[in-house]
Structure 1
Amino acid sequence: MRLLELQCKDVINVENGCRIGYVCDVDIDPQLAKICAIIVEQRSIINYLKFLKEPNVIVIPIENIVSIGKDVILVNIFC
């Protein structure tokens, strides 16, 4: 799977069913050549209004990813 395909997917927390946001980047360990975490940009109406500010992001370790489906990525995080 390519990063471009991941960036189109919504990220949903299975703990409470809330939509967290979407994948904006990944963290890669160059020594092991594997993905360590996905970086998710949070969505909210307030974030759209703060266009001059940096977006809120959450780093989700790869161990917390439950499933990667066609349209969504399910994660298990406590927030």
Structure 2
Amino acid sequence: MKTLRKLAIIILVLGLLHVGNTAFWYFLMERDISEIPFYIENFGRITLILYLILSLIIYVIKWVKDHEIHRT
């Protein structure tokens, strides 16, 4: 459970750092941010989707454990 939560946070942070770093370097090189390659945009979306899926799994596991405790 804690491992899944840590994994979700690591995925989110790495994805945000990757996308933010690319945007920052485009800003430093004085290039138009709209020129950021398409794969960077997709990487950000994939990262967010993975984070949301892992968060949902964590929530469901926690919900099931809470209901098992109350049921017994």
Please say whether Structure 1 and Structure 2 have the same fold, judged by a TM-score greater than 0.5.
no
TM-score normalised to structure 1 length: 0.25
Higher helix share: 2
Larger Rg belongs to:
2
TM-score normalised to structure 2 length: 0.26
Greater relative contact order structure (CA < 8 Å, 6+ sep): 2
